[in-house]
Amino acid sequence: MSSSLPESPPLALPCLTHQQAHLMEQRLLQRAITSGQTQWQMWRQQQAIIVTRKDAHLAHFEQACRVLNAEGWPVFVRNSGGTAVPAGPGILNLSLTLPTTSGLGPDDYYQLLGAPLLACLRQLGLEAGYGPVPGSFCDGRYNLVAAGRKITGTAQHWRAAGSTQGGAVLAHAMVMVAGDMELGTRLASRFYELAGSELRFAPNTSTTLGSLLGWQGSDDEQALRFATLLQPSLTSQQVTD
């Protein structure tokens, strides 16, 4: 399948450090709690391996961090669950932050998050849906899958309600627009090997939108232009509690 890239100027989406992305997510959650505001956010993140709090307790975690950092892949710990994942400029991060509602559960929030992505992919002529991809990193029921391979991973981070304030949820998608996902898969497996875990991931389980659509250009260009295509779907997406 071949699809030309759009001619319209892309959005300005700088690559954030992990610390900057973490602070942004905390601000979004707090805003949802204090003002009831629902917000979509897109960003990219600098090259890294992002792991879970559980991973940080592996026997040789510190050694794994030192080795990978020396190779240009710093390791950071995130709040959400799952497994290690790669981050980089070709991966577009999309989050939906909103106050929690008693009538909605995790599945509902994943579907709200995925709806504009699926709509945008359909416009590009790419059929995708939800489902697991056994052997992929951070596998889950709400991966977005196309041609049998994972193109987007999803996760959620919940802020519990307090005595005087409600709670909030941040649903997050990492959209693999461009980049070397075979390398990313190997690096995620290597983290676990270095850290003393037997967990490994299978090759050819993840791919990029750019490769499926026949896009050309740098990782930066492809990620930014996909964000430009996605933006109208976000502004038209209605989120109701």
What is the set of active-site residues? 138
Which long-range CB contacts under 8 A does 23-32 form with residues at least 24 apart?
25/79, 25/95, 25/97, 25/157, 25/170, 25/172, 28/95, 28/97, 28/170, 29/97, 29/157, 29/159, 29/168, 29/170, 30/159, 30/168, 31/97, 32/97, 32/98, 32/99, 32/159, 32/168, 32/169, 32/170
On the 0-12 / 13-18 / 19+ scale of CB atoms within 10 A, 200 is middle
DSSP 170-221: EEEEEEE-SS-HHHHHHHHHHHHHHHT------TTSB--HHHHHT--S-HHH
